[in-house]
Chains A and B, each alone.
Chain A
Amino acid sequence: MSVTIGLERLAARPGVGIRFRNALTNPWGRPRFLRIWTWIYIVWSIAPVVIAVQFSFNAGRSRSTFQGFSLQWYEAIFRTASENFDETLLEALRNSLKLAGLTVPVATILGVGLAIGLARWRSRGSSPANFLMLFPLVTPEIVMGVSLFLIFTQLYGVGLGIPAMLLGHITFSISYVVIVVRGRLFAIGREYEEAAMDLGASSAGALRRVLVPLLAPAVFASAFIVFAISIDDFVISAFLCVQDCTTIPIKIYSAARNAGSPGLNAIASIMMFSSLLAITAAVLIQRVFIKRQEGGGRSAVEDFARFEI
């Protein structure tokens, strides 16, 4: 909106006092204060991150004075010949991707099985099982980190490092898969399967030929969500890592306050965009496929805002 139009509108308006009283007394009126507050909040919550991304493209070493656009800090991650080449950044990226890549298939398979099992299994055992599944979602990460650290060093003999971190990531990811897939299972209901079985399918056949295709979008969406939360995880990784297993969040944690260069911003930006990309993929899958199955409905973003554990 241009300034002149804004001023014209302003001139045509009643006085401040009246407008203020109107804003308070008309419940369906346009609440200016709330609108401004909301936009300030949104700028406040996003601008710092945008600035951090901007400085990953800085031509200089500074993380607070922008000296022109350059890709040198991305080169510092990927090109060995680059003058700022920092091996630890590439290693962090590699470890993060390795962990997320291995976490996704295992957590998805375990989580989908658990979701189907819990949704269909109705007996005395299912209630505690359900509770056990929900617990990792509400347990403070530090408690989970300490407990895994202790069990790996004291009992299981796994030792610390990538394998231990992988086990940890799978553990906290399973419940997210269950939540996403279970929501879809409730929406589908049992009618399709029962219809298939009335028509002569075995329960395995109904599962394979009816339920699995219907569930597929939710399964893929949950896989992308697992990828994002695994890439972003810090606490569990930090407790289970001693050396040669630095992930991007661990790298940020150890380097942010000292020896930080825009290279750190570059690797952090890569992490952020890969998890945002994964989440976008999850939302799009939900939108395109599930809406096609059901036809219409709310927008995907609104669905996502309802995403609660």
Chain B
Amino acid sequence: MPTLAGDIVGQRRWYWPAFAAPGLIWLVLLFLTPFYAIMAVAFGGIDQIFAAPVPAWNPADWSFSNFGGVLERLVGGDLEPVFFRTVGYIVISVALCIAIGYPVAYFIARHAGRRKVLLLTLMIAPFWMSYLMRMLAWVNLLNNDPGDPGLVNELLMATPFFDSPINFATGEVARITVIFGLIYGYIPFFILPLYAGLDRIDKAQLEASRDLGASPRSSFLRVTLPLSKQGILAGSVIIMLPMFGDYYTPTLLAPTPSTTLIGNQIQQMIGSTGQGPNGASLTLMLSAFVAVLMLYYLLSVARATRASQQ
């Protein structure tokens, strides 16, 4: 192999890899191998007496009976509505995140002026607040205890339309509550990459479009919007990934069967006896489903990194 530019002559080939080795070994042992464990358990069996999973570490021993069973439940079985609900909630949440978040990111990137640092700080703050803390805040606000209703119910009851507190955790309202919770929880993670994308847009390009006679509307639609497409996509993907694995938002805000997500199913299965292989199978299916999103994101990050290195 030819010597790459920048290699220092006389340096041994293992010198730099040696720095990376401990971290890489760690990730192989505690990230890659555990992922293989999901497959081994999903394609393994169950102990007849203790109902404990018996993982099949050797691919030659893999049996697909558990996996097939879960797949049947997912396609046309009892898990199908859960799957579609998860996808539906995520699509609605992401769409609303774009609708709510785009104007915010746009304003801060383009028009914030001397308040930019303040606005950025306030925009980033929720990013670093624990998700659980932020959900706890809403559990308090949405409380429907008649003797001690939360602030939202107090405000509603101050209007002439409500005379008793609404239970946000059951019935039809529960769906809205969970979607609301997802939006509230993940929108900061959407706005941040979008802001970064919008902030990178060269103002000269906008001026050029104006000079060439474009109306503000068309210069937004034909310059700003196309240039921020990457940011919208990156932001959407980065919030969809954790949303697919979310189980705590419904549990905290509205724990009813009508808001059960795939994440809730996985968490229940993994925790109960005899369900290990089923839980592992469902996790595997979820991973396959989000793999496309993950690869898209990683490739776009790799492209951006390469661009910034040059």
The residues of A with any CB-CB pair to B shorter than 8 Å are: 24-27, 30-31, 33-35, 37-38, 41-42, 44-46, 48-49, 51-52, 55, 62-65, 109-111, 113-114, 116-118, 120-123, 125-126, 129-136, 138-144, 146-151, 154-155, 167-168, 170-171, 174, 178, 186, 190, 194, 197, 203, 228, 231-232, 234-235, 239, 248-249, 252-253, 256-257, 260, 264-265, 268-269, 271-272, 275-276, 279, 299, 301-302, 304-309
Q: Tell whether, in the assembled complex, residue B122 and residue A46 are in contact, meaning their CB atoms are under 8 Å apart.
A: yes
- Does B94 count as interface, using CB distance less than 8 angstroms? no
With a cutoff of 8 Å between Cβ atoms, the chain B residues found around residue A141 in the complex are 242, 245
CA distance in complex: A132, B143 (Å):
43
Partner of A45, one of B38, B126, B242: B126
B34 and A147: CB pair below 8 A?
yes
Q: Please, how many angstroms separate the alpha-carbon atoms of A260 and B138 in the complex?
A: 13
- Closest B residue to A111 by beta carbon equals B23
Which residues of chain B from 252 to 286 have a CB within 8 Å of any chain A CB?
Answer: 252, 255, 263, 266-267, 270, 276, 279-280, 283, 286
Residue contact A34 to B195, C-beta cutoff 8 Å: no
> Do most interface residues of chain B lie in helix, strand or loop, or is the interface mixed?
helix
B106 touches A143 (CB 8 A): no
Please tell me which stretch of B8-16, B63-71, B76-84 contacts chain A, meaning at least 4 of its Cβ atoms lie within 8 angstroms of it: B8-16
Q: Which residues of the partner chain A approach B290 to less than 8 Å between Cβ atoms?
A: 140
Q: Is the CB of A171 within 8 A of B30?
A: yes
CB-based closest 7 A-B pairs: A117-B20, A114-B23, A140-B245, A142-B245, A117-B19, A147-B34, A121-B16
Set B27, B121, B216: member contacting A136, Cβ < 8 A: B27
Q: Identify which of B123, B234, B252 contacts A257 (C-beta below 8 A).
A: B252
Q: Residue-by-residue, is B131-152 near A (CB-CB < 8 Å gives 1, otherwise 0)?
A: 1111111111101010011110
| Cα distance A267–B246 in the bound complex, in angstroms | 23
Q: Report A-chain residues with C-beta under 8 Å of the C-beta of B26.
A: 110, 170-171, 174
Assess whether B7 is in contact with A31, with CB atoms less than 8 Å apart. Answer: no
- Determine if A302 and B286 form an interchain contact, defined as CB atoms under 8 angstroms apart: no
The chain A residue with its CB closest to the CB of B13 is A123
- Is residue B37 contacting chain A, with contact meaning CB distance below 8 A? yes
Among B4, B136, B267, B304: residue with most chain A CB under 10 A: B136
* B119: interface (CB < 8 Å): yes
Q: Is the CB of A25 within 8 A of B216?
A: yes
Closest-by-CB residue of A relative to B290 is A140
CB distance from A215 to the nearest CB of B (A): 12
B40 at the A/B interface (Cβ < 8 Å)? yes
Which residues of the other chain, B, contact A121 by a CB distance below 8 angstroms? 16-17, 19-20
The CA-CA distance from A151 to B23 in the complex, in Å, is 19
Residues on A with C-beta less than 8 A from B35 are: 143, 147
Q: Which of B287-307 contact A (CB under 8 A)?
A: 287, 290, 293-294, 297-298, 301-302, 304
Please give me the residue from chain A that is nearest to B203 by CB atom.
A28
Task: Please measure, in the bound complex, the distance between the C-alpha atom of A22 and the C-alpha atom of B150, giving whole angstroms.
Answer: 42
Q: Give, as a whole number of angstroms, the nearest-CB distance from B141 to chain A.
A: 6
Alpha-carbon distance A178/B27, docked complex (angstroms)? 13
B104-127: contact bitstring with A at CB < 8 Å (1 yes, 0 no)?
101110010000110111111110
- In the complex, chain B residues whose CB is within 8 Å of the CB of A248: 130, 132
A146 and B38 form a contact (CB under 8 A): yes
B residues near A, CB below 8 A? 1, 4, 6-8, 11, 13, 15-24, 26-28, 30-35, 37-38, 40-41, 53, 55, 57, 100-101, 103-104, 106-108, 111, 116-117, 119-126, 128-141, 143, 145, 148-151, 154, 184, 187-188, 192-193, 195-196, 199, 206, 210, 215-217, 219, 234, 238, 241-242, 244-248, 251-252, 255, 263, 266-267, 270, 276, 279-280, 283, 286-287, 290, 293-294, 297-298, 301-302, 304, 308-309
**B131, B276, B287, B293: the one within 8 Å of A234 (CB):** B131
Residue contact B30 to A148, C-beta cutoff 8 Å: yes
**How far, in angstroms, from A31 to B255 measured CA to CA in the complex?**
41
29 sampled A-B residue pairs with Cβ under 8 A: A30-B111, A33-B103, A35-B111, A48-B184, A52-B136, A55-B140, A65-B148, A117-B19, A121-B17, A121-B20, A125-B17, A134-B298, A138-B294, A140-B241, A142-B245, A142-B266, A144-B31, A150-B37, A151-B30, A190-B6, A231-B130, A256-B135, A260-B139, A268-B130, A268-B132, A272-B133, A301-B121, A305-B199, A308-B193
CB distance from A139 to the nearest CB of B (A): 7
| Contact status B104-A232, CB under 8 Å | no
Contact of A123 among B1, B40, B206 (CB under 8 A): B1
Q: Which residues of A contact B8 (CB under 8 A)?
A: 194, 197, 203
Q: Give the chain A neighbours of B28 by CB distance below 8 A.
A: 132
A1 to B: closest C-beta gap in Å: 13
Residues of chain A within 8 A of B298, CB atoms compared: 131, 134-135, 138
Cα-based distance from A249 to B245 in the complex (angstroms) = 17
A134 to B16, CA, bound (A): 19
B122 to A42, Cβ gap below 8 A?
Answer: yes
Roughly how many angstroms separate A139 CA and B295 CA in the complex, as a whole number?
10
CB-based contact B24/A114 at 8 Å? yes
Of all chain A residues, which has the CB nearest B252?
A256
CB distance from A39 to the nearest CB of B (A): 9
By a CB distance below 8 angstroms, the chain A residues around B4 are: 122-123
- Note all chain B residues with C-beta closer than 8 A to A150: 34, 37-38, 40-41, 53, 55, 276, 280
Q: Which of these, A117, A232, A235, contacts B245 with CB under 8 Å?
A: A235
Cβ-defined contact, B111 with A34, below 8 A: yes
